[in-house]
Copies of this chain bind each other. A is one copy, B any other.
Amino acid sequence: MNELRRAKRTILFPNRPVVSGWASVVGKKEGEGPLGKAFDEVEQDDRFGKQTWEQAETRFQQTALSLALHRAALEETALDAVFSGDLLNQCAASSFALRGTGIPVLGLYGACSTMAEALLLGGCAVNAGYAARCAAVTSSHFAAAERQYRFPLAYGGQRTPTAQWTVTGSGAVILNRCGSGPVLTGATVGTVQDKGITDANNMGAAMAWAAYDTIRTHLAEMACGPEFYDRIVTGDLGQLGQALVRELFARDGLELGSRYEDCGVLIFDPQKQDVHCGGSGAGCSATVLAARFLPELAAGRWKRLLFCGTGALLSPTTVQQKQSIPAICHAVVIEA
């Protein structure tokens, strides 16, 4: 058993679970962004043919999972488990997405880090043989998130300069015991960091510490430098959080340079799309992973990716109660 275990927070997957399918489905605004053409499907209607935004988010998940299964040439019944989560209270988008399907479901909550957490646990399940094939699915919806976390859209609240824009969309990834495609080779589990930031409109700053902690721990436990990876990506710190991570590493004498990117910065054009610090939401890193990163690995243009999902673990209640913002970051290694 010891073989599987390398160090305290980092685990290795010697059986190399294969990423055999992936898909991204996003809303109109995301489709107009820099990655617009890379998404598998862009939905123009923010209700996705449903009566409510919440039901639309469920449909985003169902569509992403269905497209990812199609890419993997698998039927829904081939899945031994789905690891899923979202930002809605009680993770309702995920709970409703799989009802009646007969697929075993393990519900997660990790805020915007959920895709990384789902890949980590899915990687554990496939590597150990608990599942032959499983899926990781997450989502978010701008309108559903705004009214839940902030204000009703009709109120027209002013956004602060450090605010981020919740991505409307869902990403799905299929992990497979065998087959061809990029492979998961390891992961580092996050810890809950809290540096006392209380501004709920500055989640990038709260999450930057968690990202720094997990990436630093990962590099130390793997005994490698940032150059071991073609890309280290966080999702989703936004512009301010990304700058903070760069600065924290620079203090340690490590320049992350252009190999470091953030999903929240990549998904929107900050000049043209009025999103302030960038994108966020459990659908942000999931859709950017599927649209931008996995194709690079599949094509062999990149050899190694460190995918670091970051989540701010606040709730509107904890904010009203003047609590500071805990954050977490889980990292997953994906190789070509």
Contacts and interface: CB of A to CB of B under 8 A. Distances in A.
Contacts of A120: 106
Contact of A1 (B54, B128, B323): B128
Contacts of A316: 89
B130 A51 contact: no
A318 interface: yes
Contact of A192 (B5, B99, B313, B326): B99
Nearest to A83: B121
Contacts of A85: 109
Interface residues of A, number: 67
A5 B8 CA distance: 27
Query: Among A55, A109, A121, A125, which residue has the most Cβ atoms of chain B within 10 A?
Result: A109
A132 B9 CA distance: 11
A122 to B, nearest CB: 11
Interface in A176-199: 177, 189-194
Contact of A101 (B121, B190, B191, B314): B191
A248 interface: no
B92 A313 contact: yes
Contacts of A101: 191-192
Interface in A81-139: 81, 85, 87-92, 95-96, 98-111, 117, 120-121, 124-125, 127-132
A314 B91 CA distance: 9
Contacts of A89: 89-90, 315-317
A189 B1 contact: no
Contact of A105 (B96, B148, B191, B317): B191
Contacts of A96: 192, 313, 318, 323, 326
A52 to B, nearest CB: 5
Interface in A12-66: 15, 51-52, 54-55
Nearest to A326: B99
A95 to B, nearest CB: 4
Given A89-B90, A105-B189, 18 more contacts: A1-B128, A4-B128, A9-B104, A55-B321, A95-B328, A101-B191, A101-B192, A103-B191, A104-B189, A106-B108, A106-B117, A106-B120, A106-B121, A106-B189, A107-B109, A108-B109, A121-B121, A124-B125
15 contacts: A5-B131, A9-B104, A95-B192, A96-B192, A98-B192, A100-B192, A101-B191, A105-B190, A106-B110, A106-B117, A106-B120, A106-B121, A107-B117, A127-B128, A128-B128
